[in-house]
């Protein structure tokens, strides 16, 4: 009979350099990380959520910006310092009101150089392991006014748009008209690994576009020390 042994490292995983030997990592029940890696990261206290609306935790719907992408008006701006890397896991935009018929949905990019405009809502990402002492090194601001500093996109994380319908037309036409499917790393089969930079800092931007739209944004991401990635 073969006996497989490993090191229990459910909340204190150790990551080694390339081309080095490493003990098999096990969870406290002896499982050899058979749960999804993203769930293992959650048990480490490495997964965070940001869920703004009009307030930092989205108790009421927030008013989104322009009806199309405006590169100096941000619905969600996350700045990633050089000390960490961010892996987006889940992005959901819920649009609860919309004005006239127009494109509605979300566009999520990474890039840099953006500075959010006035009257923005600061968001502190919450750790999805509720008893973890880890805190996110990122800063998140949402729902800034027009007239911030232009964001320069470098790559696309995800997007999904539908044709928004004016609410006061026939109900049969409007059914599901502003339902925006969520993006998930699990269903997509991949997630970008966005390593931070010092100057200018690397950023994630989400535009929740729709004419006179309001609603909520939900972003879940893993955050790892940069030494564990590069």
DSSP 186: H
Query: Six-digit token pair at 67?
Result: 């009806």
Question: Could you give the C-alpha distances from 5 to 34, 55, 142, 171, in angstroms and in order?
Answer: 15, 48, 47, 61
Identify the pLDDT of residue 77.
98
* Tens-place pLDDT, residues 82-93: 999 999 999 999
Residues 155 and 211 in one domain: yes
Residues 55 and 168 in one domain: yes
Residues 98 and 135 in one domain: yes
Identify the pLDDT of residue 178.
65
Computed on alpha carbons and rounded to an integer, the radius of gyration of the chain in Å comes to 20
Identify the pLDDT of residue 55.
94
Confidence category of residue 170, pLDDT binned at 50, 70, 90? very low
Task: Give the Cα-Cα-Cα angle 204, 206, 208 (nearest 5 degrees).
Answer: 175
Residues 184 and 157 in one domain: yes
Confidence category of residue 175, pLDDT binned at 50, 70, 90? very low
Q: Average the pLDDT over 137-148 and give the result.
A: 96
DSSP 45: T
Pairing of strands 183-184, 25-26: unpaired
Query: Six-digit token pair at 19?
Result: 């081309």
Residues 210 and 165 in one domain: yes
Question: Which residues make Cβ contacts (< 8 Å) with residue 199, sequence separation at least 6?
Answer: none
Residues 90 and 13 in one domain: no
Identify the three-state secondary structure at position 163.
strand
Round to whole Å and give the CA distance between 72 and 218: 21
Domain that holds residue 149: 41-228
pTM of the predicted model as reported, rounded to 2 decimal places: 0.88
Query: Domain total for the chain?
Result: 2
Q: How many CB atoms lie within 10 A of CB 171?
A: 8
Residues 87 and 104 in one domain: yes
Q: How many CB atoms lie within 10 A of CB 69?
A: 16
Identify the pLDDT of residue 164.
59
Residues 7 and 56 in one domain: no
Confidence category of residue 172, pLDDT binned at 50, 70, 90? very low
Residues 75 and 158 in one domain: yes
Residues 62 and 141 in one domain: yes
Round to whole Å and give the CA distance between 115 and 141: 9
| DSSP run (H or E) holding 229 | none
* Tens-place pLDDT, residues 179-211: 788 999 999 999 999 999 988 889 999 999 888
Identify the pLDDT of residue 185.
94
Among 108, 122, 200, residue whose Cα is nearest residue 161: 108
Range with lowest mean pLDDT among 12-21, 84-93, 213-222: 12-21
Instruction: Return mean pLDDT, the chain.
Output: 88
CB of 102 closer than 8 Å to CB of 208: no
């Amino acid at each position: 009979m073969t006996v497989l042994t490993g090191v229990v490292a459910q909340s204190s995983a150790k990551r080694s350099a390339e081309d080095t030997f490493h003990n098999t990592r096990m969870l406290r029940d002896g499982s050899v990380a058979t749960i999804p890696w993203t769930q293992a990261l959650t048990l480490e206290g490495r997964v965070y959520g940001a869920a703004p609306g009009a307030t930092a935790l989205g108790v009421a719907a927030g008013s989104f910006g322009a009806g199309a992408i405006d590169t100096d008006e941000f619905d969600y701006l996350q700045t990633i310092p050089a000390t960490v890397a961010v892996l987006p896991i889940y992005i959901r935009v819920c649009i609860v009101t919309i004005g006239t018929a127009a494109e509605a949905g979300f566009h999520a990019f990474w890039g840099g150089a953006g500075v959010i405009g006035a009257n923005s809502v600061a968001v502190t990402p919450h750790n999805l392991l509720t008893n973890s002492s880890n805190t996110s090194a990122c800063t998140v601001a949402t729902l800034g006014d027009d007239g911030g500093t232009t964001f320069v996109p470098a790559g696309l994380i995800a997007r999904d748009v539908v044709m928004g319908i004016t609410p006061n037309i026939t109900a049969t036409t409007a059914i599901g008209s502003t339902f925006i499917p969520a993006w998930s790393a699990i269903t997509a089969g991949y997630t970008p690994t966005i390593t931070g930079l010092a100057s200018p800092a690397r950023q994630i931007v989400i535009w929740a576009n729709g004419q006179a739209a309001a609603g909520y944004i939900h972003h879940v991401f893993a955050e790892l020390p940069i030494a564990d990635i590069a």
